[in-house]
Homo-oligomer: A and B are copies of this chain.
Amino acid sequence: MRAEPLDAEAIVSATEEVLRRHGPDKATVVDVARLLGVSHGSVYRHFPSKAALREAVTRRWLDRVREDLAAAAGDPATAPADRLRGLLVTVFAAKWAKARQDPELFATFQVLAAEHSAVSSAHIAFLLDRIRAVVVDGIADGAFAGGDPEVIARAVLNATSRFHDPRHVAEWGSPEVEAESEGVISLIVDGIRAR
């Protein structure tokens, strides 16, 4: 049995480890408790259900994706079209890398995305917000055609679902995925530019 006090962070780390070993379907709270050397009651005191634990793991995992994207909105001195392109390339690359490096945690994220969980919705809102910021700057700058930045940002995110939505993970291993994403990015950037 462990001596140090059990905190939420340690439970989330142990759950990540259990998910990596067993996958989202088979991992249980008992596995997490066993890895930590505590009773499952101790885990339940921090997280009332397996679902809550899964949400906490995905939230921390998406926080890391978010850090990868922190710099991706780019230098405001860069042309808005290049910033939009850079942002999309970075979002796709981050998702593809996570899916490849951590397939079991990615599968957990897929489960939550399919359930439209709060964690998954917050991640979509974060991506929309980054895209919207570039669109607002591009319209102000005159580089982008006018329009409602909210509607445009949503259209950009929807038009690129194939490259960031976890439902498409099976295609991300294809040798063509990068060229295909380039084709869609070019179409979008051309669609958004001022005429």
Q: Which residues of B contact A183 (CB under 8 A)?
A: 151-152, 154-155, 158
Give the CA-CA distance A189 to B188 in the complex, in Å. 10
Q: Are B145 and A187 in contact (CB under 8 A)?
A: no
Q: Does A27 contact B (CB under 8 A)?
A: no
Q: Does A161 contact B (CB under 8 A)?
A: yes
Q: Does A22 contact B (CB under 8 A)?
A: no
A178-194 toward B: CB 8 Å interface, digit per residue (1/0)?
Answer: 00100110111111100
Pick from B145, B168, B186, B189: contact of A167, CB below 8 A.
B168
Nearest-Cβ distance from residue A11 to partner chain B, whole angstroms: 31
How many copies of this protein are present in the complex? 2
Nearest-Cβ distance from residue A153 to partner chain B, whole angstroms: 10
Nearest B residue to A147 by beta-carbon distance?
B186
Q: Does A26 contact B (CB under 8 A)?
A: no
Q: Are B184 and A187 in contact (CB under 8 A)?
A: no
Q: Does A156 contact B (CB under 8 A)?
A: yes
Q: Does A160 contact B (CB under 8 A)?
A: yes
Q: Which residues of B contact A187 (CB under 8 A)?
A: 152, 155-156, 159, 187-188, 191-192
Q: Are A161 and B168 in contact (CB under 8 A)?
A: yes
Q: Which residues of B contact A191 (CB under 8 A)?
A: 186-192
Q: Are A158 and B162 in contact (CB under 8 A)?
A: yes
Give the CA-CA distance A193 to B161 in the complex, in Å. 23
Interface residues of A in 115-154 (CB under 8 A from B): 145, 151-152, 154
Give the CA-CA distance A170 to B145 in the complex, in Å. 32
Once A145-B190, A190-B145, A195-B195 are accepted as A-B contacts, the answer to whether A184 and B167 lie under 8 Å apart by CB is no
A residues contacting B by CB (< 8 A) are 114, 145, 151-152, 154-156, 158-162, 165, 167-168, 170, 180, 183-184, 186-192, 195
Can you identify 9 A-B contacts, CB atoms within 8 angstroms?
Answer: A145-B190, A152-B187, A158-B183, A161-B162, A167-B167, A167-B168, A186-B191, A189-B191, A191-B192
